[in-house]
Amino acid sequence: MAGVLVFGDAPRGRLTRTSLEVATAARGLAESLGEPLVGGLIGSGIEGAATELLAGGMTRLFTVDDGRYEPYVGEEYVAAGEAVVRACSPSVALFPHTLNTREWVPRLAARLQTGLTTDCTRLSVEGSRAVMTKPVYGGSVLAEYVVHGTPQMATVRAGSQTATPTAPAGRLERLEAPRAPSRVTVLEEVAEASGSGPRLKDARVVVAGGLGVGREHWHLVEDLAAALGGAVGATRAVTDLGWVPSAYQVGLTGTSVAPDLYVAIGISGAVQHIAGITAARTIVAINKDAQANIFTMARYGAIGDAQAIVPAFLERLKQLRS
Ligand SMILES: Cc1cc2nc3c(=O)[nH]c(=O)nc-3n(C[C@H](O)[C@H](O)[C@H](O)COP(=O)(O)OP(=O)(O)OC[C@H]3O[C@@H](n4cnc5c(N)ncnc54)[C@H](O)[C@@H]3O)c2cc1C
């Protein structure tokens, strides 16, 4: 049996926005290859999320639903992923690129003795093979890969695809996966303090600050994020200094974001930072140095002191809304 298999992601039973984006990309591949689209979802209490994921257009969606998948343990996901792959023997298998899939999907590829391209931003078909494109060297080069082995596996970057849901017509099929002999026991989960805004990865608006904001004025970044209903991000220089937790870091060694709007305040635009925002749709930069590299990426720029510009902008927002 062949087909394109796409996995969704439903932490705590809630389907992520990226799942339908990746499903849409998978549907395009399946159409080009002339193969059926099949889905997979692993988690605990995921029936609602699975029904939602059917809008991706798959004919069958395998669910592996059990309490042991929450909290996440890599070994269990590898065993469940293997069960789904063996149930449908796909030619291509796609996954959203997340912190968890970064761990368990390479292990699954090794177990299936096939290849994997991680963090792809574009997928296409040449002949009967999937071509997987991803930015390398800090985003300065786009590299194309083909995978030798079956299934051809790839993880897909959040925000790199546009979700276009269809009327769900497929059916759910529940699978049991063998229990993995785990060497890991989760003793406790401690939620990271992340404020009340949306998660950085899924946010449609991100307001990020760099060293130019200054520690004592950091509240300006948070105030603007709150006013725009966005998430707060930061450069590595800021997280290294401990102004905010490292989970806020955007960039090559932090989170890659893909919001509709990215506001960069007091950020120089180092190549490692830019690598994390290439999928942002509109970038607005505020920087007092007109030569700052961030302006080469920005659609709109304000040259000047953030301490003057951000409060003025907040004031104007307040006026417009009152
Ligand atoms: C291997 C490696 C991985 C890395 N990974 C990452 C990563 O993932 N993410 C990341 O961000 N960085 C990363 N870095 C660090 C990166 O190279 C830069 O050092 C960092 O991004 C710079 O942060 P910044 O823009 O806050 O600071 P700076 O480069 O110091 O820039 C501060 C900016 O603020 C402006 N400014 C100053 N005062 C004001 C003011 N009052 N109003 C307005 N503007 C003002 C200045 O003109 C300047 O442009 C990495 C580096 C290495 C070597």
CB 106 within 8 A of CB 118: yes
pLDDT of the residue at 137: 79
Q: How far apart are CA 43 and CA 49, in angstroms?
A: 10
* Number of the ligand 1 atom closest to the C-alpha atom of 276: 8
Ligand 1, atom 43: nearest CA belongs to which residue? Answer: 287
**Among 283, 287, 291, 309, residue to substitute to test ligand 1 (most atoms within 8 Å of Cβ):** 287
Ligand 1, atom 6: nearest CA belongs to which residue? Answer: 272
* Number of the ligand 1 atom closest to the C-alpha atom of 217: 41
Ligand 1, atom 19: nearest CA belongs to which residue? Answer: 237
pLDDT of the residue at 10: 97
Q: How far apart are CA 306 and CA 289, in angstroms?
A: 11
Distance from the CA of 209 to the center of ligand 1, in angstroms?
9
Residue 316 φ then ψ, to 5°:
-65, -40
Distance from the CA of 210 to the center of ligand 1, in angstroms?
6
Q: How far apart are CA 237 and CA 221, in angstroms?
A: 15
**pTM for this model (two decimals):** 0.73
Ligand 1, atom 11: nearest CA belongs to which residue? Answer: 235
Ligand 1, atom 4: nearest CA belongs to which residue? Answer: 272
pLDDT of the residue at 191: 73
Ligand 1, atom 22: nearest CA belongs to which residue? Answer: 237
Give the Cβ contact number of residue 196 at 10 Å: 5
Cis peptide before 259 (omega within 30 of 0): no
Q: How far apart are CA 211 and CA 187, in angstroms?
A: 37
Taking the CA atoms of residue 94, residue 166, residue 201 and residue 114 in that order, the dihedral angle to the nearest 10 degrees is: 0
Which residues form ligand 1's pocket by a CB distance below 6 Å?
A: 210-212, 235-238, 249-254, 266-268, 270, 272-273, 276, 286-289, 292, 305-307
Pull the structure tokens for residue 126: 């040449």
pLDDT of the residue at 283: 98
pLDDT of the residue at 202: 81
Q: pLDDT tens per residue, the chain (322 residues)?
A: 689 999 999 999 999 989 999 999 999 999 999 999 999 999 999 999 999 999 999 999 999 999 999 999 999 999 999 999 999 999 999 999 998 999 999 999 999 999 999 999 999 999 989 999 998 876 778 999 999 999 999 999 988 899 999 999 999 999 999 998 878 888 988 876 555 566 888 899 999 999 999 999 999 999 999 999 999 999 999 999 999 998 899 998 888 899 999 999 999 999 999 999 988 999 999 999 999 999 999 999 999 999 999 999 999 999 998 8
